[in-house]
Chains A and B, each alone.
Chain A
Amino acid sequence: MEDEEESLSSNPINGGTQSESLDRARQKKHVAMLERLASRHQTRLENSLKSAETDSSSSSTLGFESTSSFLSRFADSRRSIEAQIAQCRLTNPSESTQLKPQLDSISASISDLEKLVAENSYFLPSYEVRSSLKAISDLKQGLESLSSDLVPKKKFSFKNKAPKKEREKDPSIETNREKEKEAEIGKPEKMSFRVLESPGFRDKKGEVLVRRFSGSEIGEFTISDLDSCEVRLMGCVRALFVHRLRNCRIYGGPVMGSILIEQVEGCVFVMASHQIRIHHAKATDFYLRVRSRPIIEDSSGVRFAPYCLSYEGIHGDLQEASVGEETGNWANVDDFRWLRAVQSPNWSILPESERIGLINISNSDNEAEEI
């Protein structure tokens, strides 16, 4: 506040150097300004006196940027709020007409106190800021518990909690009911899925399944429930879903989006993609080219090697799917069941001596040739 007054007192001197005609209006302004500042100064003095009265022990002059003065002011307000809360608790809840304004005024003083901390936080040691904020949150909690104790229940709806308690009391009935509900909802939906089934190979045993994708039918493709089959996919596809395979060999052209593999055992996959996720795989070899890191989850005995597929036009397809270049990511496997720095025991790099050679699936009538 001293700065303000200094700059003010220097103003008339500057004004004196100006021409007389401008001066009159200016002087009027100055006078008005002086009056305003004087009244502000007065109120400030009163305020500081007041706070000095309430706390006789503190040094009565309140300088700015002083931690001790802040702390004493903070402690005063805090004590007065606590006193108000305590008083509220003592008053009979039946006098609830006065209660609401009382609670409101307490909450207003708490927010004032919060403001005080915020305004002074720039010079306070961080410990003081933290402890003040803690004190404020304690006050808020006190107020909250006070109002929940005193204010009629309907204003504070605990509707969400009530049914939860019931459920906790009687879990068996509730979960059964939920299961029934889910079953009811689930049935008609599953029926509609069957109708909507996406293109794919399903429920086959001991067959060679070949599919050549052309530009017009780029979409998703599903391979599921196969046993001892060989699958050859040529051309680009947007997404590939693989589910429940045993002893299969899957040779695939590039997938532009992601591949999701679940529940496979004793298989060999040769695939290229943007993303690959492998869940519940056992004893399976993957020959991959991936733009990002492949991941495995709940898998064991899976081994990885680089992509090794060939068919007529594969280079164009790989370019189109942005997997034209080897990224080396086939070896950067993340195991979500092994979040440690040491190598996961669930996967390994396939030793070069055990890898298959380049697979050519161009001639789709015969068995895939290993070159």
Chain B
Amino acid sequence: MGLLSIIRKIKKKEKEMRILMVGLDNSGKTTIVLKINGEDTSVISPTLGFNIKTITYHKYTLNIWDVGGQKTIRSYWRNYFEQTDGLVWVVDSSDLRRLDDCKMELDNLLKEERLSGASLLVLANKQDIKGALTPKEIAKVLNLEAMDSTRHWRIVGCSAYTGDGLLEGFDWLVQDIASRIYVLD
């Protein structure tokens, strides 16, 4: 009871979810969002700033914040942490050289208190590219098993190019958030 129940009630009314998409540059965040929304993905410039997409997904309204991943603007990610229900961490599975960077940035993100309640979906993107690491290998490199036991997380392999795996990932994310926030009275 108390504040939490009030927050739950308000959220229940709106059936809204706030989802933050982050990851290194060139990982395919914008392409994923556009692909899910059924938009053209053939011309996408590297994101300077951020994009917001509101998508109706099943009976929920997803507010997806797609924030640019270039090094210069990563420090601005923190401006988007507030009230995030779901965190999507996108990995370029074919970029082996920068997996260390990727792990470091993710670790920093997960230390963030404002994101401590958010469900984490790791998308191992670019599975269609020959030579990409499998989701299992990515999970090992990112050391996901060692994560705080209170975190709800899952890794899904996907391809923003073909669309494979995207729905599987978002289905899990939305279900997980729904079961957490919209608990039946």
Contact = CB atoms under 8 A, between A and B. Distances in A.
Interface of A: 103-104, 107, 110-111, 114, 140, 143-144, 147, 160-161, 164, 182, 185-186, 189-190, 193, 196-199, 217-220, 222, 224, 238-239, 241, 243, 257-258, 260, 274-275, 277, 279, 291-293, 295, 297-298, 322, 334, 336-337, 339
A334 B71 contact: no
Contact of B3 (A107, A241, A258, A295): A107
Interface stretch (B41-49, B52-60, B79-87, B164-172): B41-49
B45 A107 contact: no
A334 B47 CA distance: 10
Contacts of A260: 26, 95
A334 B43 contact: no
Given A198-B94, A220-B94, A334-B48, A147 B2 contact: yes
A196 to B, nearest CB: 7
B184 interface: no
Nearest to A238: B129
Interface string B1-40: 1110110010000000000000001100000000000000
B136 to A, nearest CB: 12
B25 A241 contact: no
A111 B1 CA distance: 12
Contact of A295 (B70, B100, B126): B70
Given A274-B42, A277-B70, 14 more contacts: A103-B2, A189-B140, A193-B99, A198-B96, A219-B129, A219-B131, A224-B97, A239-B94, A274-B43, A275-B45, A277-B26, A292-B44, A295-B46, A295-B70
State the majority secondary structure of interface residues on B.
Answer: loop
Contacts of B141: 189
A107 B4 CA distance: 10
B46 A298 contact: no
B182 interface: no
Contacts of B70: 277, 295, 297, 336
Band of interface residues on B:
35 or more
Nearest to B143: A185
Contacts of A160: 113, 116
B46 A275 contact: yes
Which 7 A-B pairs give the minimum distances between C-beta atoms? Answer: A219-B130, A292-B45, A293-B45, A336-B72, A198-B131, A295-B46, A220-B94
A7 to B, nearest CB: 30
Nearest to B104: A182
Given A199-B131, A337-B72, A322 B42 contact: yes
A227 to B, nearest CB: 18
Contact of B26 (A161, A219, A258, A334): A258
B129 A257 contact: yes
A110 B10 CA distance: 14
Contacts of B42: 274, 291, 322
B1 A144 contact: no
A220 B3 contact: no
A197 B97 CA distance: 9
B76 to A, nearest CB: 11
Contacts of B77: none
Contacts of A190: 100
Q: Which of B71, B96, B113, B126 has the most CB of A within 10 A?
A: B96
A297 B9 contact: no
A275 B140 CA distance: 29
Q: Which of A114, A143, A220 has the most CB of B within 10 A?
A: A220
A239 B96 CA distance: 12
A186 B91 CA distance: 18
A297 B43 contact: no
Contacts of A182: 104
B147 interface: no
A196 B132 CA distance: 10
A266 B98 CA distance: 23
Given A111-B9, A160-B116, A292-B45, A277 B25 contact: yes
Contacts of A292: 43-46
A304 to B, nearest CB: 15
B109 to A, nearest CB: 15
